[in-house]
Amino acid sequence: MHQDKQTRFVKETASRLGFDYCGIARATALPDDAARLETWLNKGFHAGMQYMENHFDLRTDPTKLVPGARSVITLLKNYYPAQQQAEGAPRIAKYAWGKDYHDVIRAALKTFLFELKLQFGDIDGRGFVDSAPVLERTWAQRSGLGWIGKNGNLLTKKNGSFFFIATLVTDLELEYDDPYAKDYCGSCNKCVEACPTAAILPDKTIDGGKCISYFTIELKEQLIPDTYRGKFDNWAFGCDTCQDVCPWNRFSKPHQEPAFDALPGMLEMKASDWDELSETRFNELFRHSPLKRSKFSGMQRNLAFLKLVPDGKADHP
């Protein structure tokens, strides 16, 4: 089969499996990204996320992830919801409203690779979704899907940024898309100005140690620093502020993936419901949710932190 037909099959299969975008780039080392990542790590912007230091060479060269790799296939899957949380409730990032996207997308990637092998024979490949040393946003840009915004997220002109990014590295030779060459952020600075903790720095750099998502998800078994009291804007798990204010997200459309629909009853939960939630009930409700990553103890810590105003007194009885 010629490369154009192979490429067409890849993109048609991606669409049939529920992915919203599919782009393909040549597998090659990323020296510029390696230099930026090294600088970012040396400045300590990864804070307590020590795993970011691991497998540096794998992050910047896909041919070391899959020997003989020729193509990096990047897939986007929309998770923008049609619903809203109850007013005044502790805020949960939209990506965490439904089932754990790792499980949903990993299953689709497994099927994707299986179908490629049925079609093309004994090819090699590995699929990744936010859980391996892959620079997903760089590959998305290199495969023509969008540009990296000032908030560090991948942005698309048609549908904004509420997408999960998945990557399939394979030794299959394909036709390659042109990189996305233009940056449409321009002089807009809304995400930088809106960030509650000033985590978005110039040159599309994120200080992970200041990000609300870091404190509410990645920070394990530690108290959130007192200096951030009153600055979380009621975010209890993750943060969508920089995406919510982005003008390109006015084009976001509700997803069509049932697995990403909000878990039953979660959006109706008020602050009192979260306060009264037992560990047993938490584990029952969120056993298939991204919230399980924080564990019950982590959510309790986050919720308690939101009740404190800067002087350290309770915000309400």
The residues assigned a catalytic role are 130
CA distance 69 to 61: 10
Ramachandran assignment for 291, one of left (phi > 0), alpha (psi -120 to 50 degrees), beta (any other): alpha
Largest Cα separation within the chain, whole Å, is: 69
Tell me if residue 73 falls in helix, strand or coil.
strand
Q: What tokens does 216 get? A: 């509410």
SS3 content of the chain, % helix, strand, coil (to 5): 40, 15, 45
Please name which of 219, 169, 210, 176 lies closest in space to residue 192, comparing C-alpha atoms.
210
- CB burial of 233-263 (b: ≥16 within 10 Å; e: otherwise) equals eebbbbbbbbbebbebbeebeebebebbbbb
Q: What is the CA radius of gyration of the chain?
A: 20
* Residue type, position 273, single letter: D
